Structure 1
Amino acid sequence: MMNRMFYCLLLVFLFTSCKRNSDVKVMYLAHTLPQSHPVHKGILEFKRALAEKSGGKMDIKIFPDGQLGSERETLELLQIGSVAVTKVSAATLSNFVPEYHILGIPYLFRDKQHQFDVLEGEVGKSILEKGSKFWLRGLCYYDAGSRSFYTSNKPIRTPDDLKGLKIRVMNNQMAINMVNSLGGSPTPMAYGELYTAIQQGVVDGAENNPPSFVSSNHYEVSKYYTLDQHSSVPDVLLIGTKYWESLTEEEKVWVQEAANISSQAQKKFWSESVEESMAVAKAAGVEIIIPEKSLFQEKSKPVLEAFQKEHPNMDNLINKIKNQ
């Protein structure tokens, strides 16, 4: 009861705080990542660029570290207009906006340049717009790198090495299907429980990008990191449609331009973070394995085939991505 009461009071507080204060319009932005994360640095650039574009007429108050709840909870706050902006994984967003499922398909992108070309082009922009009917308007994408497997005791050099291994995945059907296709045993669990789960042998490993692998300290309990790079699910910067519609046309231009600037800056922050994270992992004695990715790509093809059968209406978007 106390938690519910606090939650309701918080909504009222945020709703009133997002409105005009003096001559400055302050937007509240919530996300779940630590302030050392390259995505948070990108968000700081969004704040800086918006203040510059608006001549100081708009500002952003940032709540990092999950202060206002999980990714799903912040999305719900956006939908009801209590928070203006958030950053979530496209995987989490896919539970609200089906088109984002596409971005989790294993080996969808040929390389990093192909991914950026798609996300910043016609297809990426069309997916951002799809969320508007669910009160979640996409502003831009942030680089979240590529996800790869890491394990505690057994190295993964080929897909066959995954047989019998319990691998923690996000509670996302695409991720579950991907590990199943490779022969592993997908085990959804909360991210905060993962360190102890690996340490105690509840799971044999997990999959994530290098900055997350290091910032979570999972490299302390995982001896092997296999850079198979099976998926490249981006993060998405979103603004609640209700809040967006309260802005003037000029304010909308400022917000979108500032988001675009932050997206480009965040790429650089991410690249630097990957280099730093890999250096930390290597120094800690983690064995970095570079596998033959084509083996993983071939074995995960059924995931795409099953998705196309289940969502034939999305074939056009998938084909556009493949042909770009």
Structure 2
Amino acid sequence: MKKILGSAVALALSALLMTGCGGESKQVVRLSHSQIETHPDHIGAVAFKDTVEKKLGDKFEVQIFPNATLGANEKVLELIKQGSVQYLVVSTANVESFDKLFSIFSIPYLFTSEEAFEKFITDPEILGKLSVNSEKTGFAPVAAFTAGTRNFYSKTPIKSVADLQGKKFRVQAGPVNVAMMQAFGAAATPMSFGEVYSALQQSVIDGAENNELALTDQKHGEITKYFSYDMHQMCPDVLVASNAFLKKLSPEERAVFDEAAKAAQEAEFAAWKGSIAEAKEKAIAMGVQFIEVDVNEFRNKVLPLHEQLLKDTPEIKALYDEASAANAEANK
């Protein structure tokens, strides 16, 4: 309830700020994300704001809402569709229920290297193909951010697939993630990111899966002391924009906002690797042990899912083939 009231107050205050000094109209552009202010996603958001206001500051004011202050990502996606929030940085897993095309990134071991993954998500043609349903969904991806590799972390060591048996792990919402955990012999427990700490604390779940920043930014390393590099997924965060907002922009304004999206992507990528190295150092100081596992053992357990997922969601086949081509190119 507090979060809902906080969101309402924030939006109301933003509306009051839409009139500048001298009665000049200035449109507020709201950009939401669920991370803390030191996270690479926020650094990307600041670069977006700086670019827009440098060139269109007389017309637009970009306001950034971190820490999910406007609500959970699924809720904000509804606000994006309505046009009351203009931009959102969101994991592709959270977008799946709105557009099945984004489930491509939840396929475990879709990419064979981070090089292939990064080349794929920064390709403007891929963003274009992910935008084909934007008229129906009400939003379009305008940039993609790296989020590294997703790995398991737990209260007990995960050294092999056998160590996952019967354990409860938080996953992002989406049927692909549930199917993946079933293939590993574990139980999937979808929940919002903000609920994970208390769920770990209260032993509602045994562990979760994410990148290293979750250990420090969200303090999950205070409870889970084992992080295993099984590298089962590479899911980007995407900067999505409200179609209702984009359609109101002039061609010149749209060019600036697209430039800002590219600046956000470049800033986020630049911040990412340093943030991971720093998070790992902090996590080790918290007592977290990092475990190298036989990635092929984990991969072989879930590879049969690829064929089933392509059968269940044939619309992702073209993107799957593009990802395979990116893997082949990176492996040359």
TM-score with structure 2 setting the length: 0.89
* Corresponding residue number in structure 2 for 1:247: 249
CA distance in structure 1 between the aligned counterparts of 2:257 and 2:226, rounded to whole angstroms = 42
Tell me, what secondary structure is at the counterpart of 2:230? strand
1:260 aligns with 2:262: yes
Deviates more, 1:246-255 or 1:310-319: 310-319
- Residue type of the alignment partner of 2:314: P
- Residue type of the alignment partner of 1:314: I
**8 Å Cα contact 1:129/1:138 also seen in 2:** no
1:148 aligns with 2:148: no
**8 Å Cα contact 2:127/2:142 also seen in 1:** no
1:88 aligns with 2:76: no
**8 Å Cα contact 2:15/2:28 also seen in 1:** no
**8 Å Cα contact 1:90/1:236 also seen in 2:** yes
List aligned pairs for 1:1-324, cutoff 5 A: 22=24, 24-54=26-56, 56-121=58-123, 122-153=125-156, 155-324=157-326
- Residue type of the alignment partner of 1:44: V
**Equivalent residue pairs, number:** 323
Tell me, what secondary structure is at the counterpart of 2:61? strand
Cα 1:233–1:63, aligned 2, differ >3 Å: closer, same or farther? same
Cα 1:4–1:124, aligned 2, differ >3 Å: closer, same or farther? closer
Cα 1:116–1:2, aligned 2, differ >3 Å: closer, same or farther? closer
Name structure 2 gaps, 5 residues minimum.
Answer: 327-332
**8 Å Cα contact 2:32/2:65 also seen in 1:** yes
Tell me, what secondary structure is at the counterpart of 2:133? helix
CA distance in structure 2 between the aligned counterparts of 1:255 and 1:98, rounded to whole angstroms = 26
Q: What's the CA shift for 1:308?
A: 0.8
Deviates more, 1:254-263 or 1:160-169: 160-169
Q: What's the CA shift for 1:293?
A: 1.0
Q: What's the CA shift for 1:192?
A: 3.0
Deviates more, 1:28-37 or 1:78-87: 28-37
Q: What's the CA shift for 1:55?
A: 6.3
Q: What's the CA shift for 1:60?
A: 0.6
Question: Root-mean-square deviation (CA), in Å?
Answer: 2.5
**8 Å Cα contact 1:119/1:125 also seen in 2:** no
Q: Provide Cα deviations, 1:274-314, integer angstroms capped at 9, x if missing partner.
A: 01110111122211001111111111113222211111232
CA distance in structure 1 between the aligned counterparts of 2:151 and 2:115, rounded to whole angstroms = 18
**8 Å Cα contact 2:100/2:313 also seen in 1:** no
**8 Å Cα contact 2:169/2:206 also seen in 1:** yes
Cα 1:19–1:89, aligned 2, differ >3 Å: closer, same or farther? farther
Q: Provide Cα deviations, 1:39-58, integer angstroms capped at 9, x if missing partner.
A: 01110011112223436543
- Residue type of the alignment partner of 2:138: W
**8 Å Cα contact 1:53/1:258 also seen in 2:** no
Identical pairs, percent: 31
Q: What's the CA shift for 1:183?
A: 1.3
Name structure 1 gaps, 5 residues minimum.
Answer: none
CA distance in structure 2 between the aligned counterparts of 1:241 and 1:57, rounded to whole angstroms = 19
